[in-house]
Amino acid sequence: MNNPRYLVPDGTYMADPAAHVFNGRLYIYPSHDIESGIPENDNGDHFDMRDYHVLSLDSVEGRVTDHGVVLDLNDIPWAGRQLWDSDCAFKNGSYYLYFSLKDKNDVFHIGVAVSDRPEGPFLPQDNPIKGSYSIDPCAFEDQGSHYLIFGGLWGGQLQRYRNNKALECGKEPADHEPALCPRIARLSDNMLEFAEAPRDLVILDPSGQPLKSGDHDRRFFEASWMHKHNGRYYFSYSTGNTHLLCYATGDNPYGPFTYQGVILTPVVGWTTHHSICEFRGRWYLFHHDSRPSGGLPDNDAKHARPPCHRDAMR
């Protein structure tokens, strides 16, 4: 990458940047990490996010405006704990913030909050989206239809589900079996519900076979993102425990998508989360790493735990 730039001020820890252009201005919707005091573990209990901020810029080189808290955990009626990744979409004069949150039973669902401004504040709905589960919603618009793509393994709980049903003892498939897929669902006209049952977004290897669960260098782990360029659909994602950002291409939002390669090699920290956005004629990759909180490179440790913060956005 040329001339990477940190967008978050010192002492503030933000991650999972979802970047969009609204009204000619660049807006970034991150998660907001804190020092939770909870021991690190593979379920991510130490990522105890409690609110969301919105950042905006007139130019990539310009001053970053932090619009402050736009949604707080305490304002969400169904909240348990942990506001993880979010994304935002626009339709008919309203902005819809989709967010990951555990309910009072410690189960992740996806909620919606609405505003008449891209910088919020956002008013949450009383309940999560019916039929939603897991984490990392990506809001994608194509030819007038809006889609939500979501899912994440381990702490993201995707391994607990098959065919949109929760399993009592869900786990990842065996290494030789097809990997778990992210999910995609078209949103209803009111942007508050699924218009259909979520489907598997299948990622194939170049020979046309679904990626295997044991293929940790290529299989999906978390951090869905979709964009379109010259009529092609690009689905990018994190491999999690192997610390890569990869991408695949397809002919429509539902796929199948064919694996193409690596976008970003391991950053400082355990994993990364990103978005890809065109702004004023140029394409940009936004991602986080953990330099400001003292994270150390851990590029080849397949079972290392993450540092305390996934925090600096570039």
Q: Which of 33, 119, 222, 298 is catalytic?
A: 222
Q: Which of 16, 85, 200, 311 is catalytic?
A: 16
Amino acid at 38: I
Cα separation of 264 and 205, whole Å?
19
Is 16 tagged catalytic? Answer: yes
Q: Residue with structure tokens 């498939």?
A: 173
DSSP readout, 231-299?
TEEEEEEE-GGG--EEEEEESSTT--EEEEEEEE---SBS---EEEEEETTEEEEEEEE-TTTT--B-T
203-204/257-264 β-pairing:
parallel
Is 61 tagged catalytic? Answer: no
Q: Judge contact between 201 and 255, C-beta under 8 A.
A: yes
First-last CA distance in the chain: 10
Active site residues: 16, 222
